[in-house]
Amino acid sequence: MTYPPNADPQRERAPDRPGVPVTVPAQRGGVRSVAAERLRAAATTEPGRLQVIGAVLALLVVAFGAVTALEVSGRASAADDVVTRSQPLSADAADVYRSLADADTMAASGFLAGAEEPRDVHEQYETDIKEASRLLVKAAASTDTSSPSGKEITTLNELLPQYTGLVERARANNRQGLPLGGAYLRYANQKMTNELLPAAERLYAAETARLSADSADARRWPFLALGVGVVALAALVWTQRRTYRRTNRVFNHGLLAATAAAAVVLLWLAVGHTVARAELHGAMVHGQESLDVLNKARINSLKARANENLTLVARGAVLTADGTQDRYETDYGTGMKALDAQLRSAGKLAGDDSPGSEPVARAVTGVAEWQERHRAARSTDDQGDYDGALKQIIGPEDSTGESFARVDEALRQALAHEQGEFTTAARSGRGALGGLPAGAAVLAVLGAVAAIAGINRRLSEYR
Amino acid sequence: MRGTNLRAARGRLRGWGGVTGMAVACAVTAAFTLLPLAHGGGSLGGQDTGRAVTSAVPATAEACTDPEASLPASSADGPTIQKIRERGKLIAGVDQNSFRWGYRDPETRTLEGFDIDLVRALAKDILGDADAVIFRAIPTNQRIAALEHDRVDVVVRTMTINCGRLEQVSFSTAYFQAGQQVLAAKESDITGYDRSLAGKRVCSAEGSTAYEALKKESFGAVFEDEHEDTDQDPDLLTVPNQLDCLVRLQLGEVDAVVTDNALAAGQAAQDPAVELKGDKPFTTEYYGVAAKLGADDLVARVNHVLEDYRRGGADSPWMRSYREWLEAGLPGIEGPPQPKYRSN
C-alpha cells in the first residue's frame, strides 16, 4: 500500500525528469503538442516506458474483467430466461394445446355416454377449458400483442368461447334426443381441429423457438472476453519476462498476483461456460427434444381418441372426400400412425434412461392394446351392433377408452420426468455461470491494482 | 378383396349381357344354360332357381329407362326367404342418424322412424313377428357392400332408386316419393327454389343432388366455399352431411338449405323455427327397399308387403306411420307413391 499513492505524482513528474527536454509549446501546437512531447519523453526513458506498461496492463486487466462480466451476465440472463421464462412459456403453450385437445376428447366422450354426461368426464372438460383460459391470460401477460405469439393468443381467445358455445348447443340438443346435437358436436370438433388446435400449435412452436433462441444465446461462446483475457495474460507474461531480463529478478509480486488473478478469471470463464454450455445443451437435447416429441405424441393420442369417439357420434354419416371411407375413422388412423412414430422417437431419445424410457414403453404397449381393441370395436360396429361397439369404446373395462387412459397416463409421467430432467440440467447450467460476473469484476480490479503495484515497485528503483 | 372380385366378375357378365342383351332376352334356352353357370361362379352359390334366373334377365339386359319399375309382387317362398325363415330373424340395414326415418333415441337406445316401421312390417309378414329383426346400423358408404357381403338381407335406409345402383342391388317398388326442396327460417323472405335465393348463402351437402342442382341453376345464390374440394375447404356452405346445414342455419352462417324434403322434414322436426319453402320439391326421386342382386324372391315378397302397407287409404299402415313420423315436418302428403312393375 506504500506505492499506489505515488503512482499519480510519479506520472506527473515523469516529464520533468532530467534529459527530458521541456520545450516551450510552439505557437500553434498548444496543449496537444505538449502531450505529444510528454508521450515521446515517456517512450524514450525506462521509467516512462514502465509507466506506460503499467497503465496498459491495468487497463487490459480491467477491460478483461469488464468484458467478462458483461458477456457472462448476458449469457447468464439468457440461461435464466431459459429456466424461468421461455421454457415455462413453452410448457404453458404445450399445456394450452393439450388442454384444448383434451377438452374436445372429453366433449365427445361425454356426448356418447348419452343425455346425462358422466360427472367426471364433464368435470374434466370444465377443467380443461378453465386451464386453457387461465394459461392464455398468463401467456398474454408476458407476450407483446403485436408479436406472432400475441396474435395466436388473440385468435385463441376469440375462438374458445365460440367452441364452448357449440359444445353447449350440442349438449342441449343431445339432452332432447335430437340428432342435431351430434351435428353441433362435429362442428365444434371441426372448429377445434381446423382453427383452435392449429393456432395453439403455432403458439407452441413460437414459444419453443424462443426457448431455442434463448438457449442458443446462453450457449454462445464469450469470444471477446476470452480474447481480451488471453491478451491480458500474454501482456502480463511479457512484462514479467522483460523485467526478468533487465533486472534478473525472477518474481515481481504485484505482477505475479495480477497474472494469477487474470488466469483465475480466464479459467473460471472457460470452465464455467463450458459446463453451462454442456448442461444447457443437455437440457435441450435430452429434456426439450423429448418434451417436444412427447407433447406431440400426447396431442396425437388425444386427437385420435376424439376421432374414435366421433366415429360413433357421426354414425357413418360423414365420409371422406372420395366417399369410400368414414372420415373420422380415417383421421383416427392418421393420428395413430403419427403417435406410433412419435413414441418410437421418444423411446430413442430416452435411450437407457430407465425412468424416462419406462413410461414410454408403457405408452407403446398401451397403444398396441388400444389399436387391437379399436379393430374389434370397429368390426362390432360394422356388424351393426352399435351398442356393443359403444361398450367397447367408452365402457369402463376392456374398452379402448381404458387403453387410451393408460397411454395418456404413461405419457403424462414421461412428460413429467423429462420436464424434471430439463429443469435440473438447465438450472445447473445457469448455476455454472453464477457468481462469475461479480467474481470477474472483483478479481480484475484486484489484478489491475496488483499490476500497478508491481510496476511501481520497479519505478521506485529509479527514484 | 373377395367382394371386389365378385363385383368385377358380375360387371364383366353384365357388359357381355348388355351387348347381346336382346339376343339373351329372346333366346330363353341360352339364358337357361349360360346364366346359371355364370351365377354359379359368382356370389349366389347354389341358391339359384330357374324362376330367379328368368326374371333376372330383363333387369340386367335392357337400358335403364324406368328404374322404379320392380318385380311383380308375390308372396311365394324362395331360397332367400327360406334362409331368413331358418334363421328366424330378418337382418335389416338401417340408418340410426336420420331423424324420423331411422334414428337411435339416445335416451331409450332404440331405433325408431318411418324406415324402422317398414322393416317391422316386413318381419311381421315374413316371420310372423314384428320384433324378429336384427337391426344393423350401417353407414351410407356401406349400404351396397353390406348387401353384397350378406351382412344384411335388406337395406331400408332412405335409399334412392337409380340406374347406377340397379347394377349393384335390386330394389323394391318405391315406398316414398321425395325431392329437393328449400328449407329456411319461417321469417325468411326466401320463397323457394327461385329468384328469392339471389345473393343468399345456401347450404348443401357435398356431392349431393342438391349441390348438383345448385350448380346447374343457383338463382344467384352463394353456395360454394372458397377452396372447394381441397384441404382448405372450410366446410361452411357445402358440408359433409345434410344435418350440418341446419347447424349453419341456426348459427346464422347460411340463409337457406337445399336438401331432400324427406330429410328436411327431419330437420324441421328438430327446429320449429324453420320450414320447407315452395309448394313442392323441384326434383322427383323415390326411395326403395334394397336387396341383394338376384334375391328376387325377397324383392317380390317386399313388394307384396308394400302392397298391403299402402292399402287402406287414410288408415293404411303407410299413412299411420307417415302421420306419426313425418307429417309434422312434411305436411300435405295424401298417400304413398303408386308402385310400378316391370311389364314382361
* Chain B residues within an 8 Å CB radius of A321: 206, 229
What pLDDT was estimated at residue A19?
44
- Chain B residue closest to A319 (CA)? B240
Distances (CA, A) of A241 to A105, A236, A248, A251, B10: 76, 9, 9, 10, 103
- Asked whether the beta carbons of residue B98 and residue A179 sit closer than 8 angstroms, the reply is yes
- Asked whether the beta carbons of residue A316 and residue B138 sit closer than 8 angstroms, the reply is yes
* pLDDT 10s digits, A288-297: 889 999 999 9
Residue B251 lies in a domain: yes
Q: Is the CB of residue B271 less than 8 Å away from at least one CB of chain A?
A: yes
Amino acid letter at B298? L
Question: What is the per-residue burial (b if ≥16 Cβ within 10 Å, else e) of A396-419?
Answer: eeebbbbbbebbbebbebbbebbb
Domains in chain B, number = 3
Q: Which of A272, A309, A287, A281 is nearest to A400 (CA)?
A: A309
Work out the average pLDDT over A44-50. 84
Instruction: Assess whether B312 and B266 both reside in one domain.
Output: no
- Asked whether the beta carbons of residue A316 and residue B98 sit closer than 8 angstroms, the reply is no
In this structure, is the dihedral angle defined by the CA atoms of residues B316, B322, B324 and B325, taken in order, positive or negative? positive
Instruction: Assess whether B166 and B298 both reside in one domain.
Output: yes
d(CA B20, CA B165): 21
* pLDDT 10s digits, A89-100: 999 999 999 999
Residue B335 lies in a domain: no
- Asked whether the beta carbons of residue A184 and residue B247 sit closer than 8 angstroms, the reply is yes
What pLDDT was estimated at residue A272?
93
Residue B94 DSSP SS3:
strand
Instruction: Say whether pLDDT at A9 is over 50.
Output: no
The neighbour count for residue A247, using CB atoms within 10 Å, is 11
d(CA B175, CA B170): 14
Which of the four pLDDT bands, split at 50, 70 and 90, describes residue A21?
very low
A187 beta partners? none
Instruction: Work out whether strand B256-260 and strand B202-205 pair parallel, antiparallel, or are unpaired.
Output: parallel
What pLDDT was estimated at residue B137?
78
ipTM for this prediction: 0.72
Amino acid letter at A314? A
What pLDDT was estimated at residue B180?
92
Helix (H) / strand (E) element for B9: namely helix B2-19
Boundary of a domain, candidates B277, B294, B311: B277
Q: Is the CB of residue A394 less than 8 Å away from at least one CB of chain B?
A: no
Q: Which of B319, B344, B307, B321 is nearest to B174 (CA)?
A: B307
What pLDDT was estimated at residue A373?
96
* pLDDT 10s digits, A368-399: 999 999 999 998 887 768 888 989 998 888 99
Instruction: Assess whether B89 and B159 both reside in one domain.
Output: yes
Q: Which of B287, B286, B295, B284 is nearest to B71 (CA)?
A: B295
Instruction: Assess whether B105 and B171 both reside in one domain.
Output: yes
What is the extent of the structural domain holding B25?
A: 2-61
Which of the four pLDDT bands, split at 50, 70 and 90, describes residue A28?
low
Q: In this structure, what are the phi and psi dihedrals at residue A28, rounded to the nearest 5 degrees?
A: -95, -20
Q: Is the CB of residue B207 less than 8 Å away from at least one CB of chain A?
A: yes
Q: Mean pLDDT in each 10-residue stretch from start to end of chain B (344 residues)?
A: 44 45 44 41 34 40 80 92 93 88 82 95 95 83 84 92 91 94 93 93 86 89 77 77 90 93 88 89 93 94 95 93 90 91 80
Instruction: Assess whether B166 and B184 both reside in one domain.
Output: no
3-state helix/strand/coil string of B165-225? HHCCEEEEEEEEEECEEEEEECCCCCCCCCHHHCCCEEEEECCCHHHHHHHHCCCCCECCC
Residue B340 lies in a domain: no
Instruction: Say whether pLDDT at A43 is over 80.
Output: no
Which of the four pLDDT bands, split at 50, 70 and 90, describes residue A48?
confident
Q: Is the CB of residue B247 less than 8 Å away from at least one CB of chain A?
A: yes
B90 beta partners? B133
Q: What percent of chain B has pLDDT over 90?
A: 49
Instruction: Assess whether B164 and B295 both reside in one domain.
Output: yes
d(CA A270, CA A273): 5
* pLDDT 10s digits, A121-159: 999 999 999 999 999 999 999 888 888 899 999 999 999
Whichever domain contains B100, its CATH number is 3.40.190.10
Burial (CB < 10 A; 0-12, 13-18, 19+), residue B333, is middle
Q: In this structure, what are the phi and psi dihedrals at residue A415, rounded to the nearest 5 degrees?
A: -65, -45
Work out the average pLDDT over A43-58. 86
- Asked whether the beta carbons of residue A114 and residue B106 sit closer than 8 angstroms, the reply is yes
Instruction: Work out whether strand B202-205 and strand B238-239 pair parallel, antiparallel, or are unpaired.
Output: parallel
d(CA B225, CA A138): 36
Work out the average pLDDT over A63-78. 92
Amino acid letter at B225? D
Residue B74 lies in a domain: no
Integer-rounded Cα radius of gyration of chain A: 35
What pLDDT was estimated at residue A59?
93
Residue B260 lies in a domain: yes
Residue B73 lies in a domain: no
Integer-rounded Cα radius of gyration of chain B: 21
* pLDDT 10s digits, A340-369: 999 999 998 888 777 888 999 999 999 999
- Least CB–CB distance from A174: residue in B106, B109, B140: B106
* pLDDT 10s digits, A99-124: 999 999 999 999 988 878 889 999 99
What pLDDT was estimated at residue B57?
40
Amino acid letter at B322? Y
- Chain B residue closest to A380 (CA)? B136
- Least CB–CB distance from B247: residue in A174, A187, A384: A187
Q: Is the CB of residue A219 less than 8 Å away from at least one CB of chain B?
A: no
Q: Which three cell numbers stand for residue B247?
A: 347447424
Which has more confidence, B139 or A273?
A273
Q: Is the CB of residue B7 less than 8 Å away from at least one CB of chain A?
A: no
Q: Which three cell numbers stand for residue B58?
A: 330383363
Q: In this structure, what are the phi and psi dihedrals at residue A85, rounded to the nearest 5 degrees?
A: -125, -65
Measure in Å the smallest separation between the Cα of A325 and chain B Cα atoms. 7
Boundary of a domain, candidates B245, B277, B309: B277
- Least CB–CB distance from A183: residue in B135, B234, B243: B243
What pLDDT was estimated at residue B34?
43
- Least CB–CB distance from A315: residue in B97, B135, B207: B97
d(CA A81, CA A433): 13
